[in-house]
Amino acid sequence: MSKYEVKALRVGEERDAAILDMLEEAERDAEQEGAQVRVNFRWGAEQLAIVKEAARVQGLPYQVYIKKALYDRASADLAAHYELAAVRRSEQAGHSGP
């Protein structure tokens, strides 16, 4: 079980101060625990240029932007998955009558 609160975010909430504080705390803890992992992947020049431009618009270094974007997307995907699973369980419970 994680010591961190898991929260589904709506669009725009990723800039909420409390959310940013939680991300920073998790990153500090990971660094202290030696849990950092390096991830490498290859992109085309055009893809990287788009990411760098988006990072510039957000005022972030592109590596930070990539990490944040991937984390945000993964969080959204998980939230959608768990929400759908809850709906399916609810529907199954409603159909499990006599």
In a domain, 54, yes or no: yes
CA–CA separation, 56 and 58 (whole Å): 5
Residue 89's domain comprises 13-95
Q: Which two tokens stand for residue 47?
A: 């893809």
pLDDT at 2 over 70: no
Indicate the number of domains in the chain.
1
Dump pLDDT digits (tens) for 28-77.
776 776 666 777 888 899 999 999 999 999 888 898 899 899 999 999 99
The label of the residue with tokens 């009558």 reads 97
- Bin 12: left if φ > 0, else alpha if -120 < ψ < 50, else beta: left
Q: Which two tokens stand for residue 9?
A: 């975010």
pTM beyond 0.85, yes or no: no
In a domain, 72, yes or no: yes
pLDDT band at 93 (very low <50, low <70, confident <90, very high): confident
In a domain, 80, yes or no: yes
Q: Which two tokens stand for residue 38?
A: 């390096």
**Residues whose CB is less than 8 angstroms from the CB of residue 83 and which lie 6 or more positions away in sequence, other chains included:** 8
